[in-house]
A and B are shown apart, each in its own frame.
Chain A
Amino acid sequence: MVKPLLVIAVCVAILSGCASRSDTLYEELGGQAKINEIVENFVYEIEYNDTILPYFADTDIDRFMEKFAEQLCVFSGGPCSYSGDTMEQVHGGMNITEADFNLTVDLFINAMNKANVPHTVQNKLINRMTHTREQMLYL
């Protein structure tokens, strides 16, 4: 029970951060359709990257796509809530290095480029995601 509560608390905190803005980043991005496109591109990028693919060896890709899309929706201030596991639970035991983390960010940027997300919108989205880094590295 604690987990969903925490997730809701995080969502509320993030949502309230942009509640006062007229245009959410979610809208700027192009809504759920664009987010789904980014996630699909991201999975494609990972598939073709020999360094990052092994991290996803035991991953249920459909579930990953669904939860990551939820997360991006929440980060961008969209009308969603995150129903997945915590970042620590997902990445624990993987011992993700800083280099591999940054490489994955590069792949995420490729995914956004291929979805024609403008550079400035990319930066704003990445800025909303940086706090997850310490929940993923060297666990």
Chain B
Amino acid sequence: MRLTKLISSTLIFCTGLACAGDGKLIGTAGLNQLEGSGGGGIVPWATLSGYDTQDEVSVNAFITQVNLEDYRLNVLGASVSLYDRAEFSVARHVFDLTTLGGEIAQTVYGAKFKLYGDVVYSDWPQLSAGVQYKDLEDTAVANLVGSEDTSGTDIYLAATKVHLGAAGGYNLVWNLTGRLTKANQLGLLGFGGPQNSDYELMLEGSLGVLFSRHFAAGIEYRQKPDNLGLGEDDWMDVFVTYIPSKKVNFTLAWADLGSIAGATGQKGLYLSVGGQLW
């Protein structure tokens, strides 16, 4: 519902011919991360999804799957970026318990606002602040493991910078994000728990190299709280992204998500396809 409204309001604003955004340099728009925000794979960045500049808007969609030892996360999402200033996103998570049976679904609504800069051109990193409101639909497992709430809001501040030619002539991109959160495993296991039910600050980072205008590779790290006392681990991934055009991107990653709901060693392939629809 919210997405439909966003898209229609976008179409109302957008009457000129040049409003569909493709004005950024290829590869500098980033991707949509797991929770739907513009970013890398698991970390939200200061960049907004899509190639819109300050005179343009863009609409993006993505599909991501993470195949782990005992689970499979399916994500379907879309985002709207307005004038390279504000981004609104929706992501639907379906978390298959492939070993135990059953699934957990939740929806994440995101908003992000650029506070300062341009990821490529400003002297200092681009800076953005965002929120992710997460609404858990299947609450049985969250209740079982002792979580406090079945919905929650993450708040984050992200800084991202591209350094042209900085890595032996290759462009280097880094991102650092501070997130206030109560979410257990993205919120799929609820929010807060017996160990902790307060907001905690988690640090997340990404480092990538653009080996050409069309290939990027890098690493990401995401710190996680352990509110449930189930030994929730920090996440990390190593990724390769192929960006054949501003219309589409493909990402293949190896993700190590550690222990999830007591099942340790959750590693596997992360696959994502994203595209700009407008």
- Please indicate whether A and B come from the same complex rather than being unrelated chains: yes
Q: Which residues of A contact B (CB under 8 A)?
A: 97-100, 102-103, 105-106, 109, 118-121, 123-124, 126-127, 130, 133-134
Q: Across the interface, do A98 and B53 meet the contact criterion of CB distance under 8 Å?
A: yes
Tell whether B207 is near chain A: CB-to-CB under 8 Å. Answer: no
Q: How far is the CA of A109 from the CA of B121 in the complex (A)?
A: 16
Q: How many A-B residue pairs have CB under 8 A?
A: 55
Q: Would you call the interface of chain A mostly helix, strand, loop, or mixed?
A: helix
* Residue in chain A with minimal CB distance to B24: A102
Q: How far is the CA of A109 from the CA of B212 in the complex (A)?
A: 12
List, in ascending order, chain B residues with CB within 8 A of A98's CB: 23, 53-55, 84
List, in ascending order, chain B residues with CB within 8 A of A124's CB: 164-165, 169
Tell whether B26 is near chain A: CB-to-CB under 8 Å. Answer: yes
Q: Across the interface, do B53 and A120 meet the contact criterion of CB distance under 8 Å?
A: no
* Residue in chain B with minimal CB distance to A28: B169
List, in ascending order, chain B residues with CB within 8 A of A97's CB: 23, 53-55
Would you give the 0/1 interface string for B37-56, flagging 1 where the beta carbon is closer than 8 Å to chain A?
00000000000000001111
List, in ascending order, chain A residues with CB within 8 A of B25's CB: 102, 105-106
Tell whether B102 is near chain A: CB-to-CB under 8 Å. Answer: no
Tell whether B18 is near chain A: CB-to-CB under 8 Å. Answer: yes
User: 17 pairs across A/B with beta carbons < 8 Å?
Assistant: A97-B55, A98-B23, A99-B22, A99-B53, A102-B25, A105-B25, A106-B25, A120-B169, A121-B169, A123-B165, A123-B170, A124-B165, A126-B165, A127-B164, A127-B165, A127-B166, A130-B120
Q: How far is the CA of A83 from the CA of B22 in the complex (A)?
A: 34
Q: Which residues of B contact A (CB under 8 A)?
A: 18, 21-26, 53-56, 84, 120-121, 164-166, 168-171, 211-213
Q: Across the interface, do A99 and B18 meet the contact criterion of CB distance under 8 Å?
A: yes
Q: Which of B18, B53, B165 contacts A102 (CB 8 A)?
A: B53
Q: Which of A99, A100, A123 contacts B164 (CB 8 A)?
A: A123
Q: Across the interface, do B169 and A102 meet the contact criterion of CB distance under 8 Å?
A: no
Q: Across the interface, do A119 and B23 meet the contact criterion of CB distance under 8 Å?
A: no
Q: Which of A99, A121, A126 contacts B56 (CB 8 A)?
A: A99
* Residue in chain B with minimal CB distance to A134: B121
List, in ascending order, chain A residues with CB within 8 A of B171's CB: 123
List, in ascending order, chain A residues with CB within 8 A of B23's CB: 97-100, 102-103
* Residue in chain B with minimal CB distance to A127: B164
9 shortest interchain CB distances as A-B pairs: A120-B169, A99-B23, A123-B165, A127-B164, A98-B53, A124-B165, A99-B53, A127-B165, A102-B23
